[in-house]
Amino acid sequence: GENVEQHPSTLSVQEGDSAVIKCTYSDSASNYFPWYKQELGKRPQLIIDIRSNVGEKKDQRIAVTLNKTAKHFSLHITETQPEDSAVYFCAAIGAAGNKLTFGGGTRVLVKP
Amino acid sequence: NAGVMQNPRHLVRRRGQEARLRCSPVKGHSHVYWYRQLPEEGLKFMVYLQKENIIDESGMPKERFSAEFPKEGPSILRIQQVVRGDSAAYFCASSPRQTTDTQYFGPGTRLTVL
């Protein structure tokens, strides 16, 4: 089945700097890659997603890139703000097209 | 997405009791997924259901756990004879169609087993 690895597990950045989180996946047939943000005690919230027919997608300060050949995708947050502090999870849906397989999460701390 | 409802939000059970977790998907969504999140860990898939059908239960423990999504009413995740290791947050998600559609998560049920 699908396996998703996520790095780093923790990331501390200064407010205003950029943050980058990287994920790799194992199933070459995977075709949907969402990113979720989870604040303490809250639900995972979708912040951006990308499908396999697109290489890059941007939404304001957030962007995601996908390299299907290398089977990796990345989340980029620019001009980080304290409210960006949370745990971020990448995920993938494989060929079966149903369940999300999540990475282990990245705890991001934005220092004012 | 605020449309997915779960209750109760917090549930405390003693070892050996039963836990019933309910999930009402976004209106119009016919696909429901359950995920478990152990403390300080990521989310793990448990089961995928459509109305009256279990499509994929590959992530569900073979014993004590069951799930249903009846024609009418919410989806239910049932844990019999709970043990301390069942303490976790259980999240339900829904989507309108099966293949590569966004899954919207509910607020979760935090189960504590004493």
pLDDT per position as a tens digit, B41-69: 889 999 999 988 999 999 999 999 999 99
> Is the pLDDT score of A22 beyond 60?
yes
Instruction: Select the residue of B43, B104, B106 nearest A102 (Cβ to Cβ).
Output: B43
Distance (Å, rounded) from C-alpha B55 to C-alpha B50?
7
Query: CB distance from A73 to chain B under 8 Å?
Result: no
pLDDT in tens, A55-106: 999 999 999 999 999 999 999 999 999 999 999 999 999 776 688 999 999 9
List CB contacts of A55: < 8 A, sequence separation 6 or more. A65, A66, A67
pLDDT of B100: 57
Burial class (CB in 10 A: 0-12, 13-18, 19+), B106: buried
CB atoms A34 and B102 under 8 Å? yes
Which pLDDT does position B99 carry in this prediction? 56
B105, with CB counted inside 10 A (0-12, 13-18, 19+), is buried
User: Under DSSP, is residue A83 helix (H, G, I), strand (E, B) or coil?
Assistant: helix
- Beta-bridge partners for A74: A22, A65
For B31, residues 6+ apart whose C-beta sits below 8 A from its C-beta are A98, B25, B48, B49, B50, B94, B95, B96, B97, B98, B101
B3 φ, ψ (degrees, to nearest 5): -70, -25
Closest among B59, B68, B55 to B99, alpha carbons compared: B55
Residue B109 contacts by C-beta under 8 Å, 6 or more apart in sequence? B6, B7, B8, B9, B10, B11, B21, B89, B90
Interface of B with A (CB under 8 A): 1, 31, 33, 35, 41-45, 48, 55-56, 58-59, 91, 93, 98-100, 102-108
B105: nearest CB among A43, A51, A105: A43
**CB contact at 8 A, B1 and A47:** no
Give pLDDT, residue B29: 87
Radius of gyration of chain B (CA): 13
Task: Determine the pLDDT at residue B2.
Answer: 52
Candidates B102, B105, B110, partner chain A, best to mutate (most A CBs within 10 A): B105
The DSSP line for A8-47 is -SEEEEETTS-EEEEEEES-TT--EEEEEEE-TTS--EEE
**What is residue B1's predicted lDDT score, i.e. its pLDDT?**
46
Cβ neighbours of A102 in B, within 8 Å: 42-44
Cβ-Cβ contacts under 8 Å for A26 (sequence gap 6 or more): A2, A3, A4, A71
Determine what percent of chain A is predicted with pLDDT higher than 70.
98
Q: What is the pLDDT of residues B64-111, one digit of tens each?
A: 999 999 988 999 999 999 999 999 999 999 988 755 578 999 999 999
The overall average pLDDT reported for chain A is 93
A9 neighbourhood in chain B, CB within 8 Å: none
Looking at CA atoms only, how far is residue A97 from chain B in angstroms? 5
